[in-house]
Amino acid sequence: MSRVRTNLQTIIAANVRRRRLELGLSQEQFAEIAGYHRTYIGAVERGERNITVSTLSAIAAALKLDVNELIAPND
């Protein structure tokens, strides 16, 4: 089955990275705010982590976004 849409993990990765940079935060600074390790945030931003909905909520809150903004595909 062919899928045109980028998968959710990749969308979230791009959104986390873009929003973090928008907030002027390094991965390390953001990791501290969000309560995760810097290497974990790095992996999320590379789309390497299949995160849970509770992590999704925590990351959205730390980025001052609603969860639906964090999962929205961006052109």
Ramachandran angles phi, psi of 15, nearest 5°: -65, -40
**Tokens linked to 69:** 């903004």
Residue 7 binds its own copies, judged by CB under 8 A: yes
Q: Which of 6, 37, 50, 64 binds its own copies (CB under 8 A)?
A: 50
Q: Give the residue with the Cβ less far from its own copies, 12 or 34.
A: 12
Residue 8 binds its own copies, judged by CB under 8 A: yes
Residue 14 binds its own copies, judged by CB under 8 A: no
Torsion sign, CA atoms 13, 18, 23, 28 = positive
Least distance to its own copies from the beta carbon of 5, Å? Answer: 9
**Tokens linked to 18:** 């873009």
